[in-house]
């Protein structure tokens, strides 16, 4: 990837006493180094991608500490990496996006958690409970419980987050259970500060090897009959050990308050929102001094029943604030209190919504409901008035009255033309069942393409057509990115389709990177040599995707008989290829490789290159497309076939016409789709392509001047 | 300690709306940096994941209004989410996104200062409509002014362009000028300098916005002026001139004669003046070639692509004329033979004949070719299409006239159906078919039915909405269009 993390890498090297300023995820990364971690791995995904991205780029520095960093091929391989800590006293951390990544990793996690670890292991997951999330209603909590792994949900406050990382390793070692740490998206990106400590080189690492393999120990294998013993170890030793550690180190914090006969038990991640809610109800000040006592669960699994009991003892009622369903924590709290014969009333999902994010407003509603039952002395009128005012404002401007703005393909994205071609092909051969996938190409599910019938998981599109394909009269189309292909699709999709002789069509978006997660490199990324060569030949603007043939070679090696590679900007060729794949007599697997390098990466390469040439006064050519406003009739068919952010509309300058005309605004990178679509779809003659040359040579200037003079004799002055 | 008296002290809360790729992250970093520089406790956060490529995104910053030295040993607990009605400053690079935060309930009349760009970045849903799907800017502004304590509206995108920088620097200048945050101008500027990247353009953009907002806070007239509607043009004069230049004076006289038939119904005549002129000056390759070659166009393109005086512009045009375009200029008999040949091609499973061209308009060959086609203006009258268009126009006018005689409102609605005629090739044919169908089956109904059908026909280009509306009014659906069907089925795989 071409993004530079220079500043972040500097922050990682801070020593004791220095002030770290930065985002939450980077603070976590720094905390790993302060904890003496020996190896780090993972698979990128929002919102935790930066942990790995920064570490990969910081290799020269982390090498000096002896820390091994590896970008894993998927979450399963990342989880398997933690196997190093089964036998050896080395700390390891891996990261991914949950819940999806945890699902992929589940097999390895079970087999890691069963024998239990020697060295501390930590899994940092992006816990996607709210906005910008996928499969938001599922919780990592369930995985932690089923595999008996500790789950941290720290207060979104940098010192607490860093502290939790360091304790997570120690807890993992004390209890032999792997630990997880979940971060909500806003906590990942929260910018704050903490006082750094020195980084610690691990005892064993790339600088100090483990001398010899551990002795054979059947107990470290997840195999019967030792797994029966593992089960006992989990409940008889590990959970109690973890609970003891939590209590001994006060990982769950209690904040006292004057209204001592009630209390709030809250997931750490919700603490700040709860504080603002309390402020709104008039129960706290801005510095976190609450009138209601609060017990903050920085570790949400396992719960420490003794601390829960100590907090609830003497209280008439507690309210458990826990995002998501089922209400695991609430049930644990109820059980803990009943076992300790405490009759404190426990509220939770009876007063709080069972689904959705617990934002400040939701929490205020819960606090009002709780206050009405248990805090007659508190005046709730202001809070209620605030809620009513919010509702009134929303009623005045309903959200549904505003056009939505979902994300879309970047300007110049090489994947957009594929969906233009697919739209055109379907006009010829009829509608097609499209098995979509995870990746940038999933943005085609939005306007103007509205393409895709299902998304079953990352790299799962071809596999997911295995059921519907044989039951359908027409062929189905599976779309997959190269990221998804390597993550999973090669085995679950291609291999299965070949083995079963399926009559399927697979479209692989070969853009050279896993782009939706931030253009991380993969095995089919164009290598540095190809990039250097492009620079030498002044061909930096060109796609380099074809320079890496790993996907094609793999497919050929597996025996894919029908394989076509089409450059995505050849819309007409792509349309014909799709039509052929859908109608050919050949009944086996047909693969179309849609080739075109990620535009983000190309632009990041191109910008400094062009800037350099301009600085040296060398010839630079830029391309921009445009629409002739007097030729455009305002039908916008071009937009329905493109959706490019720079292809938009403006007021019609012709006073006779009323519909806005299409226009290409600044930001157009001259990708060529407008022209290709105009030809492939027989749109209209409005589009032009302008090649603007700066610092042209003498001959080129001469020719241009000559042409201008001669053609000016041919031009009519005014045309209405 | 007792907190029975909850202090009114609260953080200053700033919500930033931006679109993906506008540098909102940098802006949030600057604001956090400015607070740290000034010795204030602060926190920022964002949801960049949602912005993934061009979508809407927000950044949220809280700053303690006094320096940290005033609250030793105590740290404020900042919220990670903006709270409805709890925002002190909303800054937005796009008007619809500003309105979205109003709809989310974030903006309150007793607290929220809003600085919003008046610029619109249209959403795909707005752009892709076959007519005009844009949200009403006036309504968006009105909603904002209704709910904000104070609304500063200015074109931030234009300022960014003027300064040659990204919009984030401009937004920072606007924030600084708003005075909502307790930092002096120099603190922000030092923060930009400390960033080290693109410092000069950023400072320029910052200063432009700072001054613009400061000025605007003193005299608020710009917005009102910008929202004044332009005076209505004389459509008949414009239409006549269009038709005359399109063909000749005789054609313009025909335009007059046609309009004069509607003198009894001024409202109908007024609308017809527009739609009749556009239909009579129908778009064909002769007209397109002339427009592409026009001297004024060269200047416009140079302006649009922002070519400097020392830069060379090479201009290419994308054409794909097919059989209909050529047949249009041929006499009926010849044209019919050509079209029959093309139909046979298509029936045989091939694509209709067409000639994809990329013409270098800046080259001599390209200009000559366009000149030749533009010179076919005289031929146009003899061509198949001219005759056909005139017949269709008469059919439409007759229906409008008959309708107006029954009810002027019905006549007006039928006249407005002229809007369906636009575009090239199949788009144009589809519009004509829809219009003629409405004229044929609904001209004897009431105005409301015609309006519903027209709106449906304009709503989607597949015609499904029109068919549904026709069915709802008990009218016959459009006849199916002839189209070769390439029917295919998967062959069953023999059992292994």
- Would you say residue B7 has pLDDT above 60? no
Verify whether the Cβ–Cβ distance B320 to A679 is below 8 Å: yes
- Architecture of the structural domain at B12-226: 3-Layer(aba) Sandwich (3.40)
Q: Does B491 touch chain A (CB under 8 A)?
A: yes
- Would you say residue B2 has pLDDT above 60? no
DSSP B370-422: HHHHHTTHHHHTTSHHHHHHHHHHHHHHHHHHHHHHH-HHHHHHHHHGGGG--
What are the chain B neighbours of A630 within 8 Å (beta carbons)? 291, 297
- Residue B467 makes CB contacts below 8 A (sequence gap 6+) with B477, B478
- Report H helices in A444-586: 461-468, 482-484, 496-499, 528-536, 550-558, 571-583
A668 min Cα distance to partner chain B (Å)? 10
B173 min Cα distance to partner chain A (Å)? 21
What are the chain B neighbours of A470 within 8 Å (beta carbons)? 493
Q: Does A356 touch chain B (CB under 8 A)?
A: no
Please, which residues 197-256 of chain A have a Cβ atom closer than 8 Å to chain B? none
Beta strands B42-46; A661-664: pairing state: unpaired
Verify whether the Cβ–Cβ distance B242 to A192 is below 8 Å: no
Q: Name the phi and psi angles at A691, rounded to 5.
A: -105, 115
- What is the pLDDT, as a whole number, of residue B246? 92
In the structure, what pLDDT confidence band is assigned to residue B320 with cuts at 50, 70 and 90?
confident
Q: Which residue has better confidence, B427 or A578?
A: A578
Closest CA to A242 of A138, A152, A110, A351: A152
Displacement of CA A473 from its chain's centroid (Å): 36
- What is the pLDDT, as a whole number, of residue A131? 64
Q: What is the token pair recorded at A34?
A: 């302060």
Per-residue pLDDT reduced to its tens digit, B201-230:
999 999 999 999 988 877 655 555 555 566
Candidates A656, A670, A710: best to mutate against B (most CBs of B within 10 A) is A656
Q: Does A399 touch chain B (CB under 8 A)?
A: yes
- What is the pLDDT, as a whole number, of residue B229? 62
Mean pLDDT, residues A594-623 taken together: 91
- What is the pLDDT, as a whole number, of residue A193? 93
**Domains in chain A, CATH or no CATH each:** 6-247 (3.40.50.970), 252-401 (3.40.50.920), 416-602 (3.40.50.970), 620-712 (3.30.70)
| ipTM (interface predicted TM) | 0.93
Candidates A685, A696, A713: best to mutate against B (most CBs of B within 10 A) is A685
CA-to-CA distance for A542 and A537, rounded, in angstroms?
11
Candidates B4, B58, B70, B81: best to mutate against A (most CBs of A within 10 A) is B81
Per-residue pLDDT reduced to its tens digit, A511-551:
999 888 888 899 999 999 999 998 888 888 889 999 999 99
- What is the pLDDT, as a whole number, of residue B254? 96
Q: Name the phi and psi angles at B91, rounded to 5.
A: -120, 130
Q: Does A635 touch chain B (CB under 8 A)?
A: yes
- Residue B329 makes CB contacts below 8 A (sequence gap 6+) with B284, B285, B286, B376, B379, B380, B383, B384, B385
- Would you say residue A88 has pLDDT above 80? yes
Return the axis-axis angle of helices B156-163 and B199-218, rounded to nearest 10°.
Answer: 140
CATH 3.40.920.10 in chain B, residue ranges:
12-226
For tokens 């989607």, the residue is B460
Please, which residues 361-380 of chain B have a Cβ atom closer than 8 Å to chain A? 361-364, 367-368, 370-371, 374
Per-residue pLDDT reduced to its tens digit, A414-442:
999 999 999 999 988 889 999 999 999 99
Computed over every residue of chain A, the mean pLDDT equals 93
Point out the residue among B51, B77, B304 whose CB comes nearest to the CB of A275. B77
Per-residue pLDDT reduced to its tens digit, B152-202:
999 999 999 899 888 999 999 999 999 999 999 999 999 999 988 889 999
Per-residue pLDDT reduced to its tens digit, A95-139:
999 989 999 999 999 999 999 999 999 999 998 666 656 666 788
Mean pLDDT, residues B387-415 taken together: 92
Q: Does B303 touch chain A (CB under 8 A)?
A: no
CA-to-CA distance for B438 and B454, rounded, in angstroms?
8
- What is the pLDDT, as a whole number, of residue A519? 85
CA-to-CA distance for B261 and B401, rounded, in angstroms?
8
Verify whether the Cβ–Cβ distance B318 to A583 is below 8 Å: no
- Would you say residue B434 has pLDDT above 90? no
- Report H helices in B229-321: 235-246, 249-260, 266-280, 285-293, 295-304
Mean pLDDT, residues A358-379 taken together: 96
Verify whether the Cβ–Cβ distance A660 to B132 is below 8 Å: yes
- What is the pLDDT, as a whole number, of residue A618? 93
Per-residue pLDDT reduced to its tens digit, A236-274:
999 999 999 999 999 999 999 999 999 999 999 999 999
- What is the pLDDT, as a whole number, of residue B3? 39
What are the chain A neighbours of B292 within 8 Å (beta carbons)? 628, 631, 685, 688
Mean pLDDT, residues B254-280 taken together: 94
In the structure, what pLDDT confidence band is assigned to residue B22 with cuts at 50, 70 and 90?
confident
Please, which residues 22-61 of chain B have a Cβ atom closer than 8 Å to chain A? 28-29, 32, 36, 43-56, 60
Point out the residue among A440, A639, A716 whose CB comes nearest to the CB of B374. A716
Lowest mean pLDDT across A18-22, A301-305, A475-479, A531-535 = A531-535
Highest mean predicted confidence (pLDDT) among B49-58, B175-184, B448-457: B175-184
Verify whether the Cβ–Cβ distance B84 to A393 is below 8 Å: yes
- What is the pLDDT, as a whole number, of residue B484? 54
Share of chain A above pLDDT 90, in %: 80
Verify whether the Cβ–Cβ distance B76 to A286 is below 8 Å: yes
What are the chain B neighbours of A585 within 8 Å (beta carbons)? 491
**Cα first-last separation, chain B:** 81
Q: Does A410 touch chain B (CB under 8 A)?
A: yes
- What is the pLDDT, as a whole number, of residue A368? 97
- What is the pLDDT, as a whole number, of residue A12? 94
- Would you say residue B34 has pLDDT above 70? yes
- Would you say residue B4 has pLDDT above 50? no
Candidates A716, A717, A718: best to mutate against B (most CBs of B within 10 A) is A716
Cis peptide before A302 (omega within 30 of 0): yes
In the structure, what pLDDT confidence band is assigned to residue B494 with cuts at 50, 70 and 90?
low
Lowest mean pLDDT across A453-467, B38-52, B278-292 = B38-52
Asked if residue A138 lies in contact with residue A106, where contact means CB atoms within 8 angstroms, the answer is no
- What is the pLDDT, as a whole number, of residue A141? 95
- What is the pLDDT, as a whole number, of residue B208? 94
Point out the residue among B7, B86, B311 whose CB comes nearest to the CB of A285. B7
**Cα first-last separation, chain A:** 51
């Amino acid at each position: 990837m071409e993004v530079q993390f220079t500043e972040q890498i500097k922050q990682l090297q801070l020593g004791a006493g220095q002030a770290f300023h930065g985002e939450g995820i980077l603070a976590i990364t720094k905390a790993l180094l302060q904890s003496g971690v020996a190896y780090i791995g993972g698979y990128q995904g929002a919102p935790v991608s930066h942990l790995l991205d920064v570490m990969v780029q910081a290799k020269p520095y982390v090498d000096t500490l002896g820390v091994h960093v590896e970008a894993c091929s998927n979450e399963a391989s990342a989880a398997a990496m933690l196997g190093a800590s089964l036998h050896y006293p080395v700390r390891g951390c891996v990261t991914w996006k949950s819940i999806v990544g945890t699902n992929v990793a589940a097999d390895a996690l079970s087999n890691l958690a069963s024998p239990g670890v020697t060295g501390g292991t930590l899994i940092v997951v992006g816990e996607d409970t709210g906005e910008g999330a996928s499969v938001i209603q599922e919780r990592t909590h369930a995985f932690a419980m089923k595999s008996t792994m500790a789950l941290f949900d720290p207060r979104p406050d940098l010192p607490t987050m860093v502290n939790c990382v360091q304790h997570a390793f120690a807890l993992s070692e004390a209890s032999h259970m792997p630990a997880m740490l979940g971060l909500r998206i806003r906590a990942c990106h929260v910018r704050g500060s903490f006082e750094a400590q020195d980084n610690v080189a691990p005892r064993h690492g790339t600088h100090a090897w483990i001398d010899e393999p551990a002795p054979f120990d059947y107990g470290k294998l997840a195999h019967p009959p030792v797994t029966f013993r593992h089960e006992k170890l989990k409940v008889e030793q590990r959970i109690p050990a973890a609970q003891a550690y939590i209590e001994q180190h006060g990982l769950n914090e209690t904040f006292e308050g004057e209204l001592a006969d009630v209390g709030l038990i809250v997931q750490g991640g919700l603490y700040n929102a709860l504080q603002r809610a309390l402020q709104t109800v008039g129960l706290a000040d801005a510095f976190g001094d609450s009138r209601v006592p609060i017990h903050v669960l920085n570790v949400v699994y396992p719960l420490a029943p003794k601390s829960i009991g100590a907090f609830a003892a003497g209280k008439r009622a507690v309210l458990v604030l826990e995002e998501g369903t089922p209400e695991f924590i609430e049930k644990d709290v109820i059980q803990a209190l009943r076992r300790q014969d405490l009759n404190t009333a426990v509220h939770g999902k009876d007063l709080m919504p069972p689904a959705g994010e617990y934002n400040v407003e939701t929490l205020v509603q819960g606090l009002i409901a709780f206050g009405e039952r248990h805090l007659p002395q508190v005046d709730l009128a202001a809070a209620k008035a605030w809620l009513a005012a919010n509702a009134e404002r929303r009623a005045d401007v309903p959200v549904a009255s505003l056009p939505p703005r979902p994300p879309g393909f970047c300007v110049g994205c090489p994947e957009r033309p594929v969906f233009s071609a697919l739209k055109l092909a379907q006009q010829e051969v009829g509608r097609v069942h499209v098995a979509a996938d995870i990746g940038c190409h999933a943005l085609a599910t939005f306007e103007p393409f509205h393409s895709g019938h299902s998304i079953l998981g990352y790299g799962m599109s071809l596999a997911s057509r295995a059921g519907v394909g044989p039951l359908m009269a027409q062929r189905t189309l599976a779309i997959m990115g190269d990221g998804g292909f390597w993550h999973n699709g090669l085995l679950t999709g291609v291999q299965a389709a070949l083995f079963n002789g399926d009559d399927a069509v697979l479209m692989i978006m070969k853009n050279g990177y896993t782009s939706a997660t931030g253009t991380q490199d993969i095995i089919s990324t164009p290598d540095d040599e190809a990039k250097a060569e492009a620079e030498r030949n002044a061909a930096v603007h060109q796609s380099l995707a074809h320079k890496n043939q790993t996907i094609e070679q793999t497919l050929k090696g597996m025996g894919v008989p029908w394989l076509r590679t089409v450059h995505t900007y050849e819309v007409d060729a792509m349309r014909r290829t799709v039509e052929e794949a859908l109608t050919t007599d050949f009944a086996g697997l047909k693969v179309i490789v849609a080739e075109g390098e990620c535009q983000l990466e190309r632009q990041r390469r191109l910008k400094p290159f062009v800037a350099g040439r301009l600085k040296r006064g060398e010839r630079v050519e830029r391309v921009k497309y445009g629409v002739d406003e007097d030729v455009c009739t305002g039908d916008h068919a071009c937009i329905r076939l493109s959706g490019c952010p720079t292809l938009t509309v403006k007021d019609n300058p012709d006073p006779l016409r009323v519909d806005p005309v299409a226009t290409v605004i600044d930001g157009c990178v001259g990708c060529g789709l407008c022209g290709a679509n105009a030809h492939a779809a027989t749109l209209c003659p409005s589009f032009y392509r302008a090649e603007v040359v700066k610092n042209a040579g003498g001959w080129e200037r001469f020719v241009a001047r000559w042409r201008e003079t001669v053609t000016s004799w041919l031009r009519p002055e005014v045309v209405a | 300690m007792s907190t029975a008296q909850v202090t009114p002290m609260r953080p200053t809360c700033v919500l930033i709306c931006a679109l993906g790729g506008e540098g909102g992250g940098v802006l949030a970093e600057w604001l956090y940096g400015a607070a740290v520089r000034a010795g204030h406790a602060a926190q920022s956060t964002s949801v960049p994941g949602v912005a993934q490529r061009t979508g809407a995104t927000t950044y949220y910053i809280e700053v303690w209004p006094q320096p940290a030295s005033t609250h030793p040993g105590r740290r404020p607990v900042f919220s990670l989410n903006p709270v409805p009605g709890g925002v002190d400053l909303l800054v937005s690079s796009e008007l619809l996104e500003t309105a979205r935060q109003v709809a989310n309930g974030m903006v309150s009349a007793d607290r929220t200062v809003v600085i919003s760009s008046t610029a619109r970045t249209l959403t795909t849903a707005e752009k892709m409509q076959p007519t005009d799907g844009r949200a009403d800017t006036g309504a968006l502004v009105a909603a904002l002014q209704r709910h904000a304590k104070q609304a500063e509206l200015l074109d931030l995108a234009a300022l960014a362009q003027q300064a040659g920088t990204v919009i984030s620097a401009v937004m920072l200048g606007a924030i600084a000028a708003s005075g909502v945050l307790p930092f002096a101008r120099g603190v922000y500027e030092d923060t930009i300098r400390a960033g080290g990247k693109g410092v000069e353009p950023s400072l320029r953009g910052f200063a432009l916005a700072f001054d613009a907002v400061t000025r605007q806070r003193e005299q608020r007239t710009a917005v009102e002026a910008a929202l004044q509607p332009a005076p209505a043009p004389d459509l008949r004069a414009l239409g006549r001139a269009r038709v005359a230049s399109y063909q000749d004076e005789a054609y313009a006289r025909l335009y007059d004669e046609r309009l004069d038939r509607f003198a009894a119904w001024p409202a109908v005549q007024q609308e017809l003046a527009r739609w009749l002129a556009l239909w009579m000056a129908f778009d064909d390759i002769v007209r397109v070639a002339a427009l592409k070659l026009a001297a004024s166009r060269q200047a416009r393109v140079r302006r649009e692509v922002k070519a400097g005086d020392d830069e060379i512009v090479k201009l290419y045009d994308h054409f794909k004329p097919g059989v209909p375009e050529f047949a249009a200029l041929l006499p009926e008999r010849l044209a019919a033979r050509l079209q029959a040949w093309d139909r046979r091609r298509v029936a045989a499973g091939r694509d209709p004949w067409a000639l994809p061209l990329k013409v270098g308009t800046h080259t001599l060959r390209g200009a000559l070719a366009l000149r030749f086609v533009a010179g076919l203006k005289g031929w146009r009258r003899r061509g198949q299409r001219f005759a056909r268009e005139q017949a269709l126009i008469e059919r439409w006018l007759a229906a409008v006239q008959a309708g107006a005689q029954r009810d002027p409102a019905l006549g007006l609605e039928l006249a407005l159906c002229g809007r369906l005629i636009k575009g090239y090739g199949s788009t144009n044919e589809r519009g004509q078919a829809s219009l003629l169908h409405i004229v044929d089956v609904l001209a004897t109904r009431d105005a409301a039915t015609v309006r519903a059908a027209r709106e449906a026909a304009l709503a989607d280009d597949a015609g499904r909405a029109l068919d549904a509306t026709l069915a709802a009014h008990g009218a016959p659906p459009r006849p199916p269009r002839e189209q070769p069907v390439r029917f295919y089925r998967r062959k069953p795989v023999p059992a292994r």
